[in-house]
Structure formats: C-alpha cells, structure tokens
Chain A
C-alpha cells in the first residue's frame, strides 16, 4: 500500500474508533418520569432469586400487584447477577430492566452517585411516604448515598448468635451469653481439644470463617465508618479498634491463629449441610436469619438456639442489637416507564402485606417498621429473635460508598494481618487503612 493511501486510511480508522468510543460504548445517564402512569405498559423487573420457593414467592407478589394495577404488567427475570445488572444499567436499550434488585448493598453508592438509579425522593414525596417513619434506620442507611435515596430495602437480613443447645447443656452453660466476657468464657468452656486440633470448638473467630467478618463483629460497637465530610473514620472510631482487639484476644485464647486456621480448613461449605455449626464442629457462630430455615430444612440433628450476638461489657444495656443488611431495589434511570416502575417498587417495599408474605415465604426479615410489627410475620421463636434485632434502634449496617465495598476490604485485610500476627501495631494499621480508604475514594471522584 502506498504512503498517500495509508494516511487517509489510518486517519479514517482513528476517527471511526474515536466516534465509536464516544457513542456506542457509553450508556445513557438520564431517564424521565413523564410517562403516563395509567398507560398500559409492561415493565421489566430483574432480580437474583433462583430457588423454586423464592421464584414462586416473588411471582405471587407480582401477581398480587398486577391485580391491583391491571394496566401495569411485570416481566420478571430471575437469577440475575450483579455483573449483569451493571452491564444492563450501563447499556440501557429496550431490553434493559426498569426495576432492578440486588442482593448486595455495596453498589448503592455507585448507583446513586452515577445516577444509574433514579433518586426516589420525588416519588416518595409525591406519595407522602416518609422514609424515616417507614423504614428502620440501618435499612435507610444502606439504600442511600449522601442524601440521594436511589434505592429502597426489599427485605432484610439480621445477624445474631446461633448456639448448640446440647453442647451448652453438656458444658453446664445455662443460656446464651449477653456480654463478650461471658461469650469468651463460654467459647473456651465449649472447646474440646483433640491432639493438636479440636473435636469441638466453642467459636471460630477467624475472619475467614463464614460470617465472622470484622464488619459483622464491629456492629456490636455501633461504629461510624465515615466522618461527616466523607473521610474515613476507622482510625478514630474506638469501636473498630476494640472489635479487632477483642477478636485477636479470642483467637489467642482458643489456641492461636495457625491452629484455628488448620481446623477451619476442614470445614464444609457455608451453604451446605456440611456447615461446621450444623455438623457440630463449632458450638456457636454468628449468622443471619436464613440459617435457621436452612437447618430446619436439612438433615442436621443439631439442636440450636438463637439470640442476639453479645455486646461489649461496657455496652451491656444495648444487648439486642446486631448487624443489618439486605436486598435493595431501585429504578433504572434508562427506564422510560418510571412512574409505572415506581408503582411496582412502592408496592414491593412499602405494602405491609406484600412485605410480610414475601418475608415469610423466603425466611427473610421484613424491611419496614410496620411489617416488623405485623402479627402476620412468622411467630417462630427463633425467627422472632431476628425480628427484634432488625427492629432494635441500635442495630447498624455498613454504609454505602462510591467504590463498592473497597473500604470494607481494606479493613478486612488489616484484620487478616492483625489476627495472624503479621501486623502488631493496630493503631498504625488503622491509620494506614484510613489513608488507603481515603485514597481509594479520592480516586473515584
């Protein structure tokens, strides 16, 4: 090819590449709420539920909604992962969802700040729904970012203590511990050593064990992860440091990190019948309300009880609180049926009978204050413990941030280093973690 022919070709190729990159690749950022709410429309609803009972339960809610709103039809698409959600929200188009739900609260900060989800405040105002009196405080915290209420809670998860009643009886322990000093003593009493390992461990504090994470533990100290100016507060918050010190102390009392880790590697999958609590390998664990349903549905013979996770001795009066998270739902800003979508979201998240029936069907905690108090909610004593934890005003969550769960990961990595002895200066570690969190957030601005 001659030189003078190559030049225009390369120029055309570059121009085409730039044009493509500036048009085809970048999703739309804005939607509108001017659609006719009384028009006959079909909205697309993406969710992650896939088990037959879950799909049946959400479909029952959809059927009930369609009866109330004959002009709005819902095309539900299940088993959707967060990666698919992100791609669809970026791309938009006729096949993109109007209403999206996600099992993780970590992405809410990005959905709000990028306006991938529309701010629901105008819709809430229009229907005179006061979020503060409708939803519990933690649920509101994880569905908004810097005042932008771009999502709403669609059922919740509450974390508490599961304990093996038979092991408690055998060890002469009368009931679940309420403070961490009682808990530590019980964990030691419940531990049975066998050579260089264990035949039963009172509690597995290692951060790699199932739900034994720093954020789940730290909730018992009600920490503040971010200061009012949005900067990291992990180095200044006394609760986070105290939580890490407590965990490390328990690791050492129960035999040390290496020994515990070796025992942990023999555990079965968390979401299987081989779960270490269900097989009797550990006598206590921190977990969500769903575990009770799983134990009941399994072949496990474990006789279990549930209670709020113990609190620090100095905060004994706050016993009953715990970590809260849940599923979130929002409206895609690319949707051109936002009013219809809002009717659906409003029904799913605020209609007490819809929330309660769905919660009962899939063993999740209801996510509105009215539903938590409803007599229709399962009265199973174990489940009621989690209802109380979710309704406790001192319960907390991990707030949303603009870069997913990066700040939690930074904190968790410090936890791994501290529990293993790789990091011995916790104050320096927390300072470094705070700096890293601020750097990571600055990178997203």
Chain B
C-alpha cells in the first residue's frame, strides 16, 4: 500500500490496510498498551496548550455565549431568557447601531491609513542616507506613549478655543474645525492620533523592506521597470505576508478600540459624571462610541451582563469573519509559500 493510496480514505485498498492494522492492535495487548502510552505522552506534551486554551479561550467563550442567553446582573445567578438580550441589543438598544457604524469606520479608515502611513514611513526611513537612526527614533517614540496620556495631549492640542493647532491654523487664515468637539471631525481627530503612533508598523515594514533581495530590483530595472513597477511587482509581493499580518492585527485591535475614544470623548465633553450627571456615550453626538464601550456600559453601568455578552459575541464573530476573509485573500501570514 503506497502512501498515496493511504491518503485517500475512500480507497478500498487503503481502508482495508487500516482495518487490518486496527485488528492487529486489538489482538495484541502489548501493542495496545504501547499505543495508549504514546497517546498519553502526546496528551502530556499538549496539556499546557490544552489547559491554557481551555481556561483562557474556550471557557470564557462558552460562558460568554451562554450568558448572552440569560438575564444576569452579576449579583443573582443567571436565568435563561432565550433571545431577549439579542432582540434588545439589535432592536431596542439605541447605541448599538451607531457604535457598530463607528467601529466599522475605524476598521476601514484608520487601519488602512495606518498601514499606508507605516509603509510610507518605513520606505522613507530606509532610503534616507543620513540621520536614519534619529528619524527611526522620532517616528517610533510616539508609539511608546501611554494611550491615555497621548489622548489627553491631543485633546489639549486640538482644543478649538485654546489649542495651539487651531491658533496656528487661524493665523494662516484657515477655518479650523472643532476636532474632538465636532461629530464630523472627532473620528478624523482620533485617526490623526492613531497615525501619530504608527511607529510599530513602520518598524515591521522597515525590517521587511530591508529583506527584499537587491538582485530582484536590479533585474527589474534591467527589464525596464520604473519605480512604480518595481514597487508593484517586487516590493509588494514580498511584503504580502507582513501586510496581511498588519491588516489582521490592525482589524482585531481596532475592534477592541476603547481607551482613546473614551478618554477623548470624556475630556472634550468637560464632564466627569456623577449623580444627576450622566456621561454622554461617545461625545460628541455618539460619534466616538465604539462596541467595546457598550460592553462596559451594559455590563458594568447597567448591570446587564447578558446584553453585554451579546455585544462581546458580535465583536468575536466580526473579528473572526474579518480575520478569516483577510487570511484567505492574503493567503495567510506565509504568503504564497503555503
């Protein structure tokens, strides 16, 4: 029996061979014990992974899915309420659809712009002859800034009345927007903040760009390829696995986008919250509201953990769909090698 025939389960010869082997194992206790020991050894080697995945992925996922079908306030044991939470979130919770729209906006616009900016900066830095290290540091340093501090700085810099950015734009005769205080400009302002911290992608792209064999560029040039064609036919194919990685991780991170929009909204609104003063979700006018903020709002402010779990499931499914689609289209992190 060749390996080729064994690979085909519907092959009569292969099936017969497997059955024959099983019969031999069943009849031979020593071989059976050896096989069991082997399985246990495999299981022992796999156990750290099984334990970790079970505890930190499967268990939370199964519990979240279960709780999304229950009425659960965190104090009293959950009670089954069928599809009520799903109906509430999709039909009656006024913040869900705006938050979903905002999240998708960030996924499409912010992730795209971050990748483009990271790639452009990476190419710029590797082509600079002098001061490359300094430039690399300058572009990478903002990525190290804590998100809360960076957001606070941006809100103050872009303050429409007292911020230096609008003062400069005013001196130049440009009608400056209200940035974080204007529903039309709050998302672009957050995108600017994300672009300021694009150093992580720059470093990844830089490393990949330096890895492209020089001979390929030389061969392309000899074939008459210009700069655009060299980028299209040499650089981009080489970068594909990194691009897929950047897009997938960017999409997943943006699905979890929480700190920056929350801090920007609350600081720009000028409110601190308290009895009789509810913080406006996604100030201004819900424009910075994202799905993770709703998880907190429902689960920890409204004591509705069941409905919060619905949002968590929506986020999980969306992330899986995006990641699956991108991995398929981009042929995985290994590019064409697989």
Asked if A221 is at the interface (CB within 8 A of a chain B CB), the reply is no
Task: Check if B59 sits within 8 Å of A17, measured CB to CB.
Answer: yes
Asked if A443 is at the interface (CB within 8 A of a chain B CB), the reply is yes
Asked if B300 is at the interface (CB within 8 A of a chain A CB), the reply is yes
A215 cross-chain contacts in B, Cβ below 8 A: 276-277
Task: Check if A1 sits within 8 Å of B276, measured CB to CB.
Answer: no
A83 cross-chain contacts in B, Cβ below 8 A: 300
Partner of A90, one of B75, B178, B274: B75
* Closest A residue, CB atoms, query B161: A266
Partner of A440, one of B66, B278, B285, B302: B302
A366 → chain B closest CB, angstroms: 17
Task: Check if A398 sits within 8 Å of B276, measured CB to CB.
Answer: yes
A294 → chain B closest CB, angstroms: 14
A115 cross-chain contacts in B, Cβ below 8 A: 75-76
Asked if A105 is at the interface (CB within 8 A of a chain B CB), the reply is yes
Partner of B276, one of A13, A14, A213, A402: A213
* Closest A residue, CB atoms, query B267: A269
C-beta contact mask, B256-290 vs A, less than 8 Å → 1, else 0?
A: 00000000000011111011111011010100000
* Closest B residue, CB atoms, query A269: B270
C-beta contact mask, B172-186 vs A, less than 8 Å → 1, else 0?
A: 000000100100000
CA distance A116 to B74 in the complex (A): 10
CA distance A413 to B297 in the complex (A): 15
Asked if A27 is at the interface (CB within 8 A of a chain B CB), the reply is yes
Asked if B200 is at the interface (CB within 8 A of a chain A CB), the reply is no
B311 → chain A closest CB, angstroms: 14
B71 cross-chain contacts in A, Cβ below 8 A: 444-445
Max chain B CB contacts within 10 Å: which of A1, A17, A439? A17
B41 → chain A closest CB, angstroms: 12
CA distance A427 to B40 in the complex (A): 71
Q: Give how many A-B residue pairs fall within 8 Å (CB-CB).
A: 149
Task: Check if A262 sits within 8 Å of B77, measured CB to CB.
Answer: no
* Closest B residue, CB atoms, query A264: B270
Q: A25-B63, A266-B161 are in contact. Are A444 and B73 (CB under 8 A)?
A: yes
A104 cross-chain contacts in B, Cβ below 8 A: 274-275
Task: Check if A116 sits within 8 Å of B75, measured CB to CB.
Answer: yes
* Closest B residue, CB atoms, query A22: B77
Asked if B94 is at the interface (CB within 8 A of a chain A CB), the reply is yes
CA distance A215 to B301 in the complex (A): 19
B289 → chain A closest CB, angstroms: 12
* Closest A residue, CB atoms, query B299: A86
Task: Check if B75 sits within 8 Å of A105, measured CB to CB.
Answer: no
CA distance A63 to B120 in the complex (A): 65
A270 cross-chain contacts in B, Cβ below 8 A: 270-272
Asked if B3 is at the interface (CB within 8 A of a chain A CB), the reply is no
Q: Which of A312-320, A384-392, A403-411 contacts B (4 or more CB under 8 A)?
A: A403-411
Asked if A299 is at the interface (CB within 8 A of a chain B CB), the reply is no
C-beta contact mask, A204-217 vs B, less than 8 Å → 1, else 0?
A: 00001111010110
CA distance A439 to B89 in the complex (A): 11
Q: A89-B75, A444-B303, A444-B304 are in contact. Are A265 and B277 (CB under 8 A)?
A: no
B94 cross-chain contacts in A, Cβ below 8 A: 413, 436
Interface residues of A in 396-424 (CB under 8 A from B): 398, 402-406, 408-409, 412-413, 416, 420, 422
A407 → chain B closest CB, angstroms: 9
Task: Check if B278 sits within 8 Å of A409, measured CB to CB.
Answer: yes
CA distance A271 to B268 in the complex (A): 14
CA distance A326 to B275 in the complex (A): 8
Asked if B147 is at the interface (CB within 8 A of a chain A CB), the reply is no
Task: Check if A29 sits within 8 Å of B270, measured CB to CB.
Answer: no
CA distance A409 to B85 in the complex (A): 20
CA distance A262 to B54 in the complex (A): 52
Asked if A261 is at the interface (CB within 8 A of a chain B CB), the reply is yes
Max chain A CB contacts within 10 Å: which of B160, B178, B274, B283? B274
C-beta contact mask, B85-110 vs A, less than 8 Å → 1, else 0?
A: 10010001010000000000000000
CA distance A95 to B84 in the complex (A): 35
Q: A208-B270, A439-B92 are in contact. Are A27 and B75 (CB under 8 A)?
A: yes
Task: Check if B39 sits within 8 Å of A323, measured CB to CB.
Answer: no
Task: Check if A416 sits within 8 Å of B63, measured CB to CB.
Answer: no
A323 cross-chain contacts in B, Cβ below 8 A: 276
Q: A1-B39, A25-B63, A408-B276 are in contact. Are A17 and B75 (CB under 8 A)?
A: no
A255 → chain B closest CB, angstroms: 15
Asked if A245 is at the interface (CB within 8 A of a chain B CB), the reply is no
Partner of B278, one of A20, A86, A89, A405: A405
C-beta contact mask, A428-445 vs B, less than 8 Å → 1, else 0?
A: 000000001001100111
B51 → chain A closest CB, angstroms: 10
Asked if A101 is at the interface (CB within 8 A of a chain B CB), the reply is no
CA distance A1 to B43 in the complex (A): 8
* Closest A residue, CB atoms, query B162: A266
Task: Check if A114 sits within 8 Å of B42, measured CB to CB.
Answer: no
Task: Check if A14 sits within 8 Å of B272, measured CB to CB.
Answer: no
B280 cross-chain contacts in A, Cβ below 8 A: 208, 409, 412-413, 416
A116 cross-chain contacts in B, Cβ below 8 A: 75
* Closest B residue, CB atoms, query A417: B285
Interface residues of B in 147-188 (CB under 8 A from A): 159-162, 178, 181
B160 cross-chain contacts in A, Cβ below 8 A: 262, 265-266
B142 cross-chain contacts in A, Cβ below 8 A: none
CA distance A89 to B272 in the complex (A): 24
Asked if B78 is at the interface (CB within 8 A of a chain A CB), the reply is yes
18 A-B residue pairings within 8 Å (CB atoms): A16-B59, A29-B75, A104-B275, A114-B73, A208-B271, A215-B277, A216-B276, A216-B277, A266-B159, A266-B162, A270-B270, A270-B271, A405-B275, A405-B301, A406-B301, A409-B281, A412-B278, A444-B304
- Known contacts A1-B42, A86-B303, then 4 further A-B pairs from the complex at CB < 8 Å, ordered by chain A residue: A210-B271, A211-B276, A325-B276, A439-B92
Which 6 pairs from chain A and chain B are nearest by CB? A266-B161, A114-B75, A325-B275, A409-B278, A215-B276, A403-B302
